[in-house]
Structure 1
Amino acid sequence: MATKMFISSVSGGLEEIRQQVASFIAKAGHEPILFEADAFAKNQAGTMIATCLRAVEQAHIYILIIGYEVGYFVHDAGKSVTHLELRKAIAAGKTIYVFAEEYIKNFYFKEYLRIYRQLRDSEDADSDKPPSFEAVIRQIGSMSVKREVLNILNDAYQVVPWVFGFQSSDDIVRILKQELSASLEAHIALRNSKQLQSLDKVMLAAERFEQYNRFMEDFFPLVDEIRLTRFEELLRKTQSHLKGGTICYDEGAGIISELVTVGNCDATSLYYFDGEGRFELVALSGLAHPRQTSIPLHDPGSYVASAYREAIAFNPDDGNRPPSTEIFYTDQTIYLCHVFGRFVFTIHFPIEDQAVDAAFLDGRTDDLYAGLLNIKANSDILELIRFILCAGGNERWKPMRDGLASR
């Protein structure tokens, strides 16, 4: 049985492109489905629309080609026929390929999404409700792309991972060849595989287990000294197993963008609050170079003191202090400050590539924190450190004073 491919587009100005794409599909052994504009003029529009939508539902693949014109507009629905076809394909869960003329694609990604982000990130924005299409259009004002054309592209981008730009039918044919070939390879691989679970997930789980397992092998020799007299070795081992990577964030509307890339943890430090207004340095590892070994609780420039003050602000009467984390950063380093009881454990990740400016990063600290913990087994390792410190927090320890200046 031939694969049915529905070609959806406004026909005005795209007649030749539609026919050339259909010709490629037919020569490849598939069945192209097209409805030309004059069919709506020669027949009852309502009947033709219903026929179109049934054809979309019966197709295996839906190909959307977006040009400058809108095409036949259904006033009762407030949308063009092309838009209704797209909605039907989305509702029916069809495989969808979206092609937009280069200028339209660039306008959407550079202008429409720029305004979308501005509205979403403004002080008056509703955090639970992303900006509507109408709100973005009002903000843009005068446009060189028709509103309905942009609306179709916006709806399509909510469900597809990629929008392909084109200047001619050759571009569309070339991309379809690549995409259909990749789909065939994926289908063959799936049929030959007994295991349907994503290989990527299996590999990530294996890497996470291996990272955690190596940490545990390093940690277990310290178990017999759980009274925590070897803090420096514990920090050194922890640092060597905390990994870096690329952290992304969800912009909304299905848009995932890169936030920052960090290297593996290159330093850690551990402080203990003496209960009388000061933090004493217990141990450190790697490239940590603290400016002082004894920090006043109300030191405004100390990340350690700031993190602890934030923790006690939420639990002022709890002497044991529940786990709490604050995140700080400079143009070179991201610092995680974990408050575990009276301990403050800091972790340093070097910034290798920052995709956004500092002002934008200020509003994404939750994404930074979640992203760092989600890298391999980082969260598992930190949970074990929390258990160790909280379990042994009342034991004797020796502040690191001697030899610190030489580090």
Structure 2
Amino acid sequence: MPEATVRWVKATPVRLVRLSGDFDATSVEALVELFLERAPRAEERLVLDLTAARLVGATASRVLVNHLGPGERRTVLVVATAAAERAAFVRASAPGPHVYTSVEAALAALPELPAGAAEALTRAHGADLTLDRFADLQQQVFGLRSKSRTREVIGMAQGILLERYGLRSPSAAFDLLRLASQHHNVPVRILSAEVVTTAPPPRERAWFPGLTGRDVNAAPDIGLFVDKALDAGDFKQVMRAVVFEAMTRTDADAVEVHLPHAVLGRTLILEGHSGLDATYRDGVAEVKDPLALPVLVHAKAQTVFVADLATDLNVGTSPTGRAALAAGSRALLGVPALADDRACVGVLTVHHRRPGRRLTDGQETALEALAGELAIWLSWYRRVVVLNALEYLHMRASQPG
């Protein structure tokens, strides 16, 4: 599985991203979204180390080169020793990032580094020591495989945009999705699903009349946002907050949040998690087995408790149940996030290692309240943030030339 490790030195603008493993076009796109688009700021310097990575196929190289070319709002230095990787940047039709054969050479090209910082970062990089890391990315690019599972949805959206706006190529359609995703901070997969499932706009007119200018920062008045510096329009930030609150309110050993996407039918996607190992996360990144607890909760739209996976004849016999048991979980509780019409729009699952572990009445009430807040936020997010992103996409695609 492809991996990415991030290191940085305090009080410096430099981040070093080291890739290892094989990266195809899909995993490069996931890498771009997680590392190269969301995290960097204009003043930061990104050093991308490809010495332990292999770009599989010309498409993977082209995707990476395109995202590191001119017009990006940061300085990017690439370290590559493999001839194929170096050649990909040399062959780029437009000037790409500077390419170096070692991390030391790349860091030496950054005169703004304070004395000793380059040496410290190089030593830590080479010895695989731990400096400060971006904790939210947790060393691995979580979701590379789940991204590949949703590429069909992205492909469907690209096809729709190609026909709707007469775009020149699928890559132009993806660029449009990516631009709207960046502008409104909506994940590409979510935006793509909305393109597929939302009725098309009238030609050359607003897609959602009266929507333009709606204040995206006017977050719903729910406890999740009280006394917290949260950006309610940032999907990933809110998912992390929901997971943290679920862990705190239930004293859980692990938490997962699954959300449905209409275009995927009964399939649920893992959108937030904590305390789950990589193997288990990969197994529940996308679930549709009727006996998987999130799917069961979603179908019933009611809370489901599993006292002991080891003896349960339903959830405990499913692949995800067995995987949870192998990861050390014994008791599970799934709580639905219910919309006003009682439709389930998400599922919170809490894990405990002790069999038979039940929540107190107060804890279960607090978790159900959190699930209700998640449902309120999801409704607002789609009505305001996602529709604004669709409107932005439509206006950009409708512009002459």
TM-score bracket, normalised by the shorter chain, equals under 0.3
| Max Rg structure | 1
TM-score normalised by length of structure 1: 0.25
TM-score normalised by length of structure 2: 0.25
Instruction: Answer 1 or 2: which has greater strand percent.
Output: 1
